[in-house]
Chain A
């Protein structure tokens, strides 16, 4: 069988998907990045290798997410694309009539405005509204509630508690304060969901024309409390696609199909799971910019460098 591989390396999760020519998702892996992208890319490739090595042919590979360049050189990507384009491509494939995409991941949140199937505007968090996913994670573990159940708890709330949502640091101290005053945990969590939605709409969604159908995706879309809070705030139904947490990877896979267009792929093969990767970084002292250059080697051979403001280190 001939499939396309998409890899999305984000701050919280690393996702790998396999899709066929007709965008059917054959496999989707959702792994925790845990600050070790190389390790987790290898782990993902190992899982795919065990299951598919002899059964499928990979005809194209695309990478996206903040670790897209790293993933790209490790697996031999045909296309390395930013996460906004990747998300938009995937969503318009599954929900062709979509007009607004709300995407909240671990560190970044974005809004993508689509008209007639084409992205017409987008925004990504700027000064704040960052780290929503990570913050929810942290609060769940502080309250000792599994993250999977965190959002559901908000649905039990009967009273609206207002939590300061300008900044997660203030949100946390406000939450703690309300807990000390004896508020019910479900009301506080509901208030937190509402605060995060308010923050998103005021920072990321500001000035954007949010028209239905609205698709909500990214890891945070698993949180029912946030989902409901969005529906209330926007007065609209919120669509959460089936593969909501791996949409970036799916988009990368679709882009890989477009990029290869029948030509030979650069994919190195599943054996990259067995290779040894080493990284090092150094300061270039050639000019006063003192760029920090990061370098990755595969089996002792340098395969990628980043961080320079000039092309000096780009050629390998």
Chain B
């Protein structure tokens, strides 16, 4: 049987795990390239004007990859009123109209239609591997995703504490390769260990007083740095620790603030008093996570949303209330191809300044002239 060539949308580091999974299923993977200005330009050219940024970037990614020869595209579907659920079909129509021949395979969330999900997986499994083999493959690559997440979170923690600006990012880029190159679960675990160990060697000041910023919003603009001007790196370099609400491995508990951990509510429960309904996309998650961050003593919150994204617009209006009721600073960015980096950086810097001054003020008040434990860096 001919080996099929497959591709998928680019999303953060996870592409490396997707690649492993599909290669194990017997595909020749055509790796999507990391989205760039060219990717976005292509997407904007062929996408409907008012579709969202993730839609445009993903379309651009396909347009960059398809000329290399692709038999299948595998992507995710969606539930609820968010239009992302329709995007795969719309992408397919636009691409086919442009003359590309391929098959679009959409993985809908398994809980919605278990039978349908199984059928899709079996279809993807065109070489008829056993279920046991597929299970092992998924398990192995899930382990890889977990390792990627762990190492990324370490970098987010270390970046605002680094002594030389940029040193964490540089080292992170290198150690990520350990995990990308690992295959078996044992190798992945070892790579993760080594990567963390190496990252910890970067000189940092752990006593530095760092403000903590939660980040919520739509999944793609949260997870794909090229869609948000590498916002996490920027925030880290401004001297703030970012805690992203969304990782593919699920919600992680905050272990960095001992004494504050109460039994955490689920994101859904936390959102309930404000938004009891699922409104599609990640609107409810944005609300729920905001509440959880407040409970965990974070200093502020950033919401990232694609321009015209209805779930996030709904969340935005509720976040205004949450911000006022809890005296909790929240900054929202609506992103699209018109977004300028300069304006975003100015607002981010001002926001982090605000959080730092506020925290210092609070600490000074609490210690009433006592010496502060650690200092906030201004730059």
Give the B-binding residues of A (Cβ under 8 A): 66, 79, 81-85, 116-122, 124, 126, 207, 209, 258-259, 287-291, 309, 311
Contact = CB atoms under 8 A, between A and B. Distances in A.
A288 B324 contact: no
Contacts of A82: 346-347, 349-350, 353
Nearest to A125: B343
B353 A119 contact: yes
Contacts of B303: none
Given A118-B357, A288-B33, A309-B229, A79 B350 contact: no
B346 A290 contact: no
Contact of A79 (B39, B320, B378): B378
30 contacts: A66-B346, A79-B379, A81-B349, A81-B353, A82-B349, A82-B350, A82-B353, A84-B347, A84-B353, A85-B350, A118-B357, A118-B358, A119-B354, A119-B357, A119-B358, A120-B329, A121-B329, A122-B350, A124-B347, A126-B334, A207-B320, A209-B324, A259-B378, A288-B33, A288-B38, A289-B37, A289-B38, A290-B38, A309-B341, A311-B166
Contacts of B3: none
A311 B39 CA distance: 21
A84 B350 contact: yes
A47 to B, nearest CB: 28
Contacts, number: 67
B355 to A, nearest CB: 9
B256 interface: no
B236 to A, nearest CB: 13
A204 to B, nearest CB: 13
Given A81-B349, A85-B350, A309-B229, 12 more contacts: A66-B342, A79-B378, A118-B358, A119-B358, A120-B327, A120-B329, A120-B354, A120-B358, A124-B343, A124-B346, A124-B350, A289-B36
A116 to B, nearest CB: 7
Nearest to A116: B361
A116 B33 CA distance: 50
B221 to A, nearest CB: 16
B103 interface: no
Interface residues of B, number: 29
A56 B52 CA distance: 56
B350 A287 contact: no
Interface string B163-183: 000100000000000000000
B293 to A, nearest CB: 17
A116 B39 CA distance: 47
Nearest to A255: B378
Contacts of A258: 378
Contacts of A289: 36-38
B284 to A, nearest CB: 21
Contacts of A290: 36-38
Contacts of A118: 357-358, 361
B308 to A, nearest CB: 12
A124 B229 CA distance: 19
A102 to B, nearest CB: 16
B248 to A, nearest CB: 24
A84 B37 contact: no
B296 to A, nearest CB: 20
A224 B361 CA distance: 36
B234 to A, nearest CB: 11
B23 interface: no
B230 interface: yes
A207 B260 CA distance: 31
Contacts of B327: 120
Q: Which 10 residue pairs spanning A and B have beta carbons closest together?
A: A288-B36, A84-B350, A288-B38, A85-B353, A82-B349, A289-B36, A119-B354, A82-B346, A118-B361, A289-B37
A223 to B, nearest CB: 24
Q: Which of B36, B166, B354, B361 has the most CB of A within 10 A?
A: B354
A79 B349 CA distance: 13
A289 B64 CA distance: 13
B230 A309 contact: yes
Contact of B349 (A85, A121, A207): A85
A309 B228 CA distance: 11
B301 to A, nearest CB: 12
A289 to B, nearest CB: 4
Contacts of A66: 342, 346
Q: Which of A85, A290, A291 has the most CB of B within 10 A?
A: A85
Nearest to B170: A311
Nearest to B307: A127
A59 B357 CA distance: 24
Contacts of A79: 378-379
B147 to A, nearest CB: 25
B37 A122 contact: no
Contacts of B341: 309
A291 B323 CA distance: 36
Nearest to A315: B166
Contacts of B379: 79
Interface string B137-176: 0000000000000000000000000000010000000000
A66 B323 CA distance: 28
Nearest to A68: B346
Contacts of A124: 343, 346-347, 350
B131 to A, nearest CB: 40
Interface in B42-91: none
Nearest to B36: A288
